[in-house]
Structure 1
């Protein structure tokens, strides 16, 4: 496992905490050189980098606010300046604004619009900046959400739509980049133990009832989602392309 991705360079957006940090560690354990981006949490980002270096990886953290589309090209430039190339892009960064119905007269339009800006437009900007410079045979992996495929409760329309938009975009660029043997896939986790999930937990209906809808009645671990991302980035997944993998314990079947 320590050499499975040796010599590969990966950029993980939103890598200072949660799934992004766990994914960075998983890549480092497989021998990859790792760049993470972060919007504000410099202390957390540097702590992740320190952990990665202890594992023997070359690692850097780059400040880049995904809401600002002009930061996309400088982000990719910084990764290539540090490591000489980019093989794998993990589009992990995103925010969750949930809880209000679309017909709520007090709907916070600015917050919901920012969610579209970060989750969709910012992700697309990073992907466009990376695509022409990504190594042939490279990988692009989007972190979506199980809510992109199945919406069992109200108040998440915009969040679900931002994640489903990425799934459609991924299929399109899988077609565009296929001639260069670049694969593009989406991992759609369910509820995970992250700060973002905790922030919105109070806005959800009965959490126990939601867990009852899972055939495997628990939330996903960060490590098992990170393992799946690493698999898609590895040599055994070279013919998996344009796919959406739900990691929701059977939620929605």
Structure 2
């Protein structure tokens, strides 16, 4: 893809301050897009924001947002439109396992918290951003789900896997709904991606080792592997791809 393939377009990346979200924001900036990111706990470093400005040619917009709050989401979308002139690409990357819990220990509050951070946030940003996406050209929505949506995840991932599978259904339903506007809607389903806060928080070292050992390509994924797929989905080259779930897992799972 040309380094200028997304020039003149604006991408809003939720949860873009760290890990996969930050890698996607950087990849889209390198392709020429102006980037806006939201964050909550992972404040982006000034040096990283300066790099985004350098590679994209435009100052990034970084907004601290509680992504489960509709007023804050609405405000973030409005500020992005006002500052950047619109939104062409929405990347729904906010998500968390919150905590691992098998069914016997999975209380209703935890269940709801996990669905909220993964599904409610995606719905809210999409609901408020979709009216601003261009009709008839290059509108893109990319939802970052997980391999767990296919497999059920590891021990204690029941609610998380349920939420990520729900993202697949949302993606397919919305692709049909927004198709007449020529807006594509796709999902990414990363497998084991190393160097992210997710595995540092929720996956024990021995489990990480087992996971990498099960990957046919013989290595953990990198956030850049997911970002490259997102950059392609955002491009004109993927203009006839919609309703798809793209697996990024090194051969760990086929379906």
TM-score norm. by structure 2 comes to 0.92
- Counterpart CA distance in 2 for 1:68 and 1:181 is 29
Local SS of the residue matching 1:251: coil
Task: Summarize the alignment of residues 1-253 of structure 1 with structure 2, pairs less than 5 Å apart.
Answer: 1-42=2-43, 44=44, 46-55=46-55, 56-104=57-105, 107=106, 109-136=108-135, 137=137, 138-151=139-152, 153-192=154-193, 193-202=195-204, 206-253=207-254
Distance 2:126 2:48 in 1: 23
Deviations 1:42-62 (A, max 9, x none): 3x2544322211222331101
Moved more, 29-38 or 56-65: 56-65
SS of the residue 1:51 aligns to: helix
CA–CA distance in structure 2, aligned partners of residues 26 and 35 of structure 1: 13
Matched residue SS, 1:103? helix
CA distance in 1, matches of 2:6, 2:146: 26
Q: Is the 8 A contact 1:95 1:115 kept in 2?
A: yes
Is contact 1:16–1:48 with CA below 8 Å preserved after alignment?
Answer: no
Aligned mates of 2:239, 2:154 — CA distance in 1: 36
For residue 119 of structure 1, report the CA deviation from its aligned partner: 0.8
SS at match of 2:36: strand
Number of residue pairs aligned between Structure 1 and Structure 2: 249
Query: Does the 8 Å contact 2:97/2:157 carry over to 1?
Result: no
Alpha carbons of 1:154 and 1:65: their partners in 2 closer, same or farther (altered >3 Å)? same
Asked whether the equivalents of residues 213 and 252 of structure 1 are also in contact (C-alpha less than 8 Å), the reply is no
- What are structure 2's unaligned runs of at least 5 residues? none
